[in-house]
Chains A and B, each alone.
Chain A
C-alpha cells in the first residue's frame, strides 16, 4: 500500500500531518480521560479553586476520605439518588425502541425499495422533512393530548414516540440497504409460487442481518442519547438516564453534590465506549452507507 507513488510524502508534510493527528487525538480523547479520572475525586479537587493540578493529585480527596480515589460520587448517584432505576428504565426504553423500529422499518424499507411508483419516492421525501424537524417541536404537540388522555409520564408512551421519531431515519437506511439486495432474489421466489410476504420471510430475512444490525445500532444511539422527548414526556419516577442526569444538575449543584452528576456522566458514557469498541466497523459503514452511494 505504502509503495503507491501517489502516497509518498515529503518528511515535513508527513510530520505536520502526524502532529495535527496527535493534537486531534488529545482533543478527542482527553476530555473523557480527564472526567473519568476526576470522577473518583471529591468536588474540591475536581473543581479546584486553588490549582487545576489538584484534580490529578487529589490532596483534598486524601484529606476527606483517606485514599487517593473515592467512590463517593458513584455511591451517591447510584444508591442514594437511585440512578440504577434510571439505568433500568433506559434499558427497557432502548431495547423496546430498537426492536420495534427495526420491525416497522424492515417491513417499510423493503416495500419502499421494491415499489416502482411515485408515491414511494414522495414518502421518502416526506420522511426526510420529518427527519429534519427538531424533536422538541413535536413534543409541544404531544403534551396537551397526552395530558387529556392520561398518557403522559409512562414508559410505553415515550417508547412509541421514540419509535415514530426514529422511523424516517430507519426507513432511509433500510431502503438504501434493501436496494442493494438484488430484486431477482425475491422475484424468483415469487415465480416459484411464494407470496410477497413469503418471499420476504424466506428469502430476504436470512440475508438482511448486516443492514439491520447497522441500522439497529443507530436506533439504539438515538433512543439512548435522546433528551428532549424523555425529559418532557416521562414522570420523575420513570426517568431515563439522560434526563435524570440533567435533574442532578438542577437539584444537587446547590447541595454541593455535583460529583453525583460527574459519576452519572461517566456511567452513561461507559456503555457507549463498549458499543464503539465492538461495533466500530458497523458504525463506520452505517455512517458512510448513505454518503458513498450519493
Chain B
C-alpha cells in the first residue's frame, strides 16, 4: 500500500489516538510539574483608637485573578513526585533511620499512600493472573470432558462473570459478603465469630478483592483454553498413549506445550488488565484497606478539591509502571523485528 493511501486510511483513527491518548499523556506530564497557586496573602494595617496592628489576610480577588491567568499553577519541577503522597523521598530516609529492621521498614513504607497502592496493585496482579489462568485451565479441561450437548449452556454461564460490568459484578459479590448477606453469614458461622465483617479487616478485604479478580477473569482463560483444546493434535495424543503415556503425562507433555503460546498471550492481556484494577475497590468500598494506583488517581480527581497535579504525578508513575511491565514484550518484538522475523 502506498504511503499516501495508508495515511488517508489511518488518519481518523490516528487523529483520535493522538488527540485523546498521546496529547493527554503530554498534558499529564506537564500538569505533574506544576502545583496550584498558593493563596495571595496581603498585609493590612488595622488601625483602631488603640493604635495600629498589622494583620495578614487572603486577597480573594488577587488569588482568583492569578489562578485564571495561569490555570496550570506554578512550576515546581519534581516537587510533587517527591512529596509525601508520591515517592516520599525524604520520608523514606527518615523511616529508614527510625526503623528497627527490614520488616519494620517495609511496614512503615506501606503506610505511605503511594507505596501502599503500588503494593496492592502488584500483589493483585501477581496473584490474580496465575490463579485465574490455572482455574480457567481446569474449567476448560472439565468442559471438554462433557457431552457436546451441555457445552453450549456451560459456556454461556461461564461467560457471565467476565462480561458483566466490573463495577456491577463486584457489587453483586460485595452485597453477598456483607455481614448481613448470605456469604457474610456463612463466613461468620464458619469462623464462629458473629461480629466478623469483611469490611473491617484488611487481610479479608484483600482476599475478597483477589477472589473477585479470579472470579471475573477465569472465564477468559477458560474460553481461550477451551478453543485451544479443540486444536490439540489427536494423532500425537494417541501415539503418546501407545507409547504408554499416562493421562498426566499426556497433559504434561502434549497438551500443555501445545497451549503454551496461548498462555503467554493470555498472561500478557491479564497483566495489563489486572494492573489497572479499579472498579472492585469502588464497589467494595475498600479504600480504607486497599488502594490501587488507578483508585489513587481517581480519589485525587474526585471530590470538591480536584487535586489535578497530584493525580497527574501518580498517572505518570503508573504509565511508567505499565511500560516496565510491558518491557519484556517490547524488547522481544524489537529483537525479533531486528532479525526480520516479525
Chain A interface (Cβ within 8 Å of chain B)? 1-2, 4-7, 9, 13-14, 17-18, 20-21, 24-25, 27-29, 31-32, 34-35, 38, 46-49, 51-52, 55, 103-105, 107-108, 110-112, 114-118, 120-121, 123, 125, 127-145, 148, 160-161, 163-165, 167-168, 170-171, 196-197, 200, 221, 224-225, 227-228, 231-232, 242, 245-246, 249, 261-262, 265, 268-269, 272-273, 275-277, 280, 283-284, 287-288, 290-292, 294
Contacts and interface: CB of A to CB of B under 8 A. Distances in A.
Interface in B145-203: 145-148, 152, 154-161, 163-168, 171-173, 175-176, 178, 180-182, 185-186
B163 A221 contact: yes
Contacts of A9: 145, 247
Nearest to B180: A47
A181 to B, nearest CB: 14
Contact of A132 (B146, B228, B282, B322): B322
A287 B224 contact: yes
Nearest to A261: B171
Contact of B171 (A29, A55, A265): A265
Interface residues of B, number: 109
B118 interface: no
Nearest to A111: B9
B1 interface: yes
Contact of A55 (B24, B182, B315): B182
A160 B16 contact: yes
Q: Majority SS of interface residues in chain B? A: helix
A125 B323 CA distance: 12
A31 B173 contact: yes
Contact of A2 (B147, B285, B318): B147
B157 A25 contact: yes
Nearest to A2: B147
A134 to B, nearest CB: 4
Contact of A4 (B25, B180, B234): B234
A141 B25 contact: yes
Nearest to B322: A132
Interface string B251-275: 0000000000110011000001001
Nearest to A273: B160
Contacts of B21: 130, 133, 138, 164-165, 167-168
Contacts of A148: 71
A292 B228 CA distance: 7
